[in-house]
Amino acid sequence: MASHGIQIPASTEVSDIPYGLSVFRTFPYAFILPELIFGSWVWILVAAVRVSQVLSQGWVMYVAVSSFFFSLILLMVYVFGFHRNNCGTWKIVDVIYHGITAIFYLSAAVLQANATIWCNINIPAGSTPQCSVVNYHLNAAATIFAFITTLLYVLHNFQNFIR
């Protein structure tokens, strides 16, 4: 018995990466906007402090700024639908990017926490200009946002593996 139903050719690829505004309603792609927001807060808060640990906080700034711009580019690719011709490749790019960025953000969060602890130890001792109470609070907030951003990147990557 022959079936006269509609048949989809084998070469047709069905896109499960959304485009347009549906990017903001589909997991894990809905995590990109919070990643941008919390990552920008890390960038802003570290830029607002007097740097006490130059290498550590330099790495934090590098990770925050570069991740912000790469995530913004990835978001624009998804929103404007540039990925629709090669969806499989963009899935791999998304997994690799978010995996590497999660590792980088974890290292940046730990280094930022170290700078915060170092600043807290030096507040009562002798008040270097880099370690005032205000700078300590800004460093602590940057540490919290860095760990939240790390969690968002990990959740995004984990959701990609589940799919």
The pLDDT of residue 67 is 96
In tens, the pLDDT along 82-93 reads 776 766 778 888
Give me the percent of the chain exceeding a pLDDT of 70: 80
Distance CA 112, CA 139 (A): 7
Residue 87 pLDDT = 67
> Of 7 and 120, which is predicted with more confidence?
120
Residue 69, both tokens: 């711009």
List all residues 6 or more positions away from 27 whose beta carbon is below 8 Å from its beta carbon: 159
pTM (global) more than 0.85: no
Each residue's pLDDT tens digit, 15-43 = 477 767 767 777 787 888 999 999 999 99
- Tell me, what's the pLDDT at 122? 60
Per-residue pLDDT of 52-84, as tens digits, reads 778 888 999 999 999 999 999 999 888 888 776
**What span, in angstroms and rounded, lies between the C-alpha atoms of 6 and 77?**
32
- Judged against a pLDDT cut of 60, whether residue 8 lies above it is answered with no
Counted domains in the chain: 1
On whether residue 4 sits in a domain, the answer given is no
Q: Which one has a higher pLDDT value, 122 or 70?
A: 70
Domain of 62?
A: 20-162
* Mean of pLDDT values over 98-119: 93
Q: From the CB of residue 119, how many other CB atoms can be counted at a distance below 10 Å?
A: 24
Name the residue type at position 131. C
Token reading at 48? 């607002």
Q: What is the CA radius of gyration of the chain?
A: 21
Residue range 115-144: mean pLDDT, rounded: 77
Residue 153: closest CA among 23, 22, 37: 37
